Chain A
């Protein structure tokens, strides 16, 4: 039996989604072009590069960083990012003393305008249940070892407020341009499961 991705049987979830989509289309409840436009936007246009630009700006511009930490929604909108699942944004800063990490234990809440759609592991039951009870153990699995004296704050997104982590700027990046800095910033660091390296 062939094992290429094109010929493998669809998973139950994929079959269910396809069935639902066909039904909704046949009944005229959704428009194919609207579905395609949304998928294209969140697959190709909105993603963690947006958040990376926000982070890089905060690193090079102390006044922007101050605005970002005080009123995340407005500061992020200054760079042109806003919309669904990012209407009320709070940005939390990682420092040598405090490490922040994000989760949604109830479902999969995530800041779409700055980070795009959530990775599969972020939505998985093991991550959601374990990061609140053993954050240091989960971070270790991501290769992130925290000093015992570092305070860990796990942000559980239960409301319509969406969070984003402002990672620590790596050492040795002093002379770098904003654009080069943005290229260093990863999705996982803005969720808070990893730290950044130069």
Chain B
């Protein structure tokens, strides 16, 4: 049975956060240097390819969210921290990157490792 107009609008206006209410200790803290993993999953992922194997700095911890790589395939929420990570354009693009340009990206815990 299809949802009616009132139900559809109600759902849209209420929204549904992807936050997961579980207490998980963060693996990273603000200021930590991280390196993104060079991963190429066949299914859904939110790790942009241009940021594979790049070093960035954690700017903010958004808290615990479901993990699309598993959730999108019905394999569970795999709740984990999502961090705001700042990458320098020089580190991402090499010499073509602007000196004063940065890319700030949300990175799930499973997409990264500590960088020395």
List A residues at the B interface (Cβ < 8 Å).
Answer: 28-31, 33-38, 41, 82-88, 90, 105-106, 113, 132-136, 148-161
Expressed in whole angstroms, the minimum distance between the Cβ of B71 and any Cβ of chain A is 11
B98 contacts the other chain (CB 8 A): yes
The answer to whether A33 and B15 have CB atoms under 8 Å apart is: no
Main secondary structure of the interface of B (DSSP, over half): mixed
Q: Mark B76-106, 1 if CB is under 8 A from A, else 0.
A: 0000001010100100110011101111111
CB-CB under 8 A from A133, the residues of chain B are: 50, 89, 93, 96-97
CA distance A78 to B2 in the complex (A): 32
Cβ of B12 and Cβ of A87 under 8 Å apart?
no
Is there contact, CB below 8 Å, between A36 and B5? yes
A-B contact count (CB 8 A): 121
Residues in B lying within 8 Å of A, measured CB to CB: 1-9, 11-19, 46-48, 50, 62, 65, 82, 84, 86, 89, 92-93, 96-98, 100-108
A159 with B8: CB separation less than 8 A:
no
Q: Is the CB of B106 within 8 A of A158?
A: yes
Which chain A positions have C-beta within 8 A of B7?
A: 34
Q: Are B17 and A160 in contact (CB under 8 A)?
A: yes
Kindly provide the distance from the CB of B10 to the nearest chain A CB, expressed in whole angstroms.
Answer: 10
Taking a contact as CB atoms under 8 Å apart, the answer to whether A84 and B12 are in contact is: yes
A83/B13 in contact, CB under 8 A:
yes
Instruction: Give the residue of B1, B9, B11, B107 whose beta carbon is less than 8 angstroms from that of A28.
Output: B1
**CB within 8 A of B46: which of A33, A41, A153, A159?**
A159
Given A41-B12, A84-B12, A84-B13, check contact A34 B101 (CB 8 Å).
no
B45 to chain A: closest residue by CB: A106
A135 to B82, Cβ gap below 8 A? no
Q: Tell me whether B48 and A159 are in contact (CB under 8 A).
A: no
Query: Hey, which chain B residues are within 8 Å of A85, CB to CB?
Result: 15
Q: Is the CB of B101 within 8 A of A106?
A: no
A37:B104 contact, CB within 8 angstroms: no
A158 touches B12 (CB 8 A): no
A88 CB contacts on chain B under 8 angstroms: 17-19, 62
B2 and A30 contacting across the interface, CB-CB below 8 Å: yes
The residue of chain A having its C-beta at the shortest distance from the C-beta of B83 within the complex is A159
